[in-house]
Amino acid sequence: MKIYDRPGFPNAARIRIVLAEKGLDAAVEYVPVDLIAAEHKQEAFLKLNPSGVIPVLELDDGTFISEATAISEYIDNLDGNPTLTGASPKEKAIVHMMQRRAEAFVLDPVGIFFHHGTPGLGAALQAYKSPEWNGREEWALRNRATAMSGFAYFDEVLARSSFLAGDRFSIADITLYAGLLFGDVAGVQPANGLEHLAQWRGRVAELPSVKGRSGQNLLPEDLRRLGF
């Protein structure tokens, strides 16, 4: 299997955590995609994923699978013992629902704010993003507000259960965790006092599949090019 991604990007981190949870990191060859040079918007990459985003999984038979959730489901089911995407029909449905909420309430709006309300990944990629228009700033700020409400919503969920979909760590938690990492970079952070969310984040950060993984840090060369 090959994974096309870039270390340190939130959707790349989702897959890297799934692979670590399943003990499959060594089974994968990583192919770096230069997001800052907009490599993922060029024809060669668009043939792999017409959405023009990473991550993409390439199977040994040449099949390309994109969308972090689809890739996660594939990896989780490979050993016939899904632990991150639900085992029973009810668990699967609840994980799916909460995962989608984590995307829609936090990860996606943080991404919109990052790309449209900040300089994002720089000039080369900005050319592929939305043009300047009068409503752009308001749209970015609305998405930041959506993410802030999402943080509060998940704080309430986590007051009632250990993880987003119940007692078990799942891809829903991984998506929200990636959203929080992305939020740190984009300047969209939970309000003070969301204690359940903060405690959950601390617990997730300590998981062996998450803790100290270099794949969660942006490459130094990328940081330099972005002016950090």
Ligand X SMILES: N[C@@H](CCC(=O)N[C@@H](CS)C(=O)NCC(=O)O)C(=O)O
Binding site for ligand X (CB under 6 A): 9-12, 35, 40, 53-55, 67-68, 111, 115, 125
Tokens in use for 181?
A: 């990492």
CB of 2 to ligand X, least distance (A): 16
| Nearest to ligand X of 95, 194 (CB atom) | 95
CB of 124 to ligand X, least distance (A): 10
| Nearest to ligand X of 175, 209 (CB atom) | 175
Q: How far is Cα 223 from Cα 226, in angstroms, rounded to an integer?
A: 5
In the bound state, the residue with its beta carbon closest to ligand X is 53
| Nearest to ligand X of 11, 194 (CB atom) | 11
CA angle 11, 67, 148 (to 5 degrees): 50
CB of 182 to ligand X, least distance (A): 7
- Which helix (H) or strand (E) segment is 220 a member of? helix 220-225
Contact between 148 and 197 under an 8 Å Cβ cutoff? The reply is: no
Contacts of 118 (CB under 8 A, 6+ apart): 186, 187
CB of 48 to ligand X, least distance (A): 12
| Nearest to ligand X of 25, 34 (CB atom) | 34
CB of 172 to ligand X, least distance (A): 13
User: What angle do the packed helices 136-160 and 171-186 form, to 10 degrees?
Assistant: 140
Query: 50 to each of 30, 54, 56, 77, how far by Cα in Å?
Result: 20, 11, 11, 25
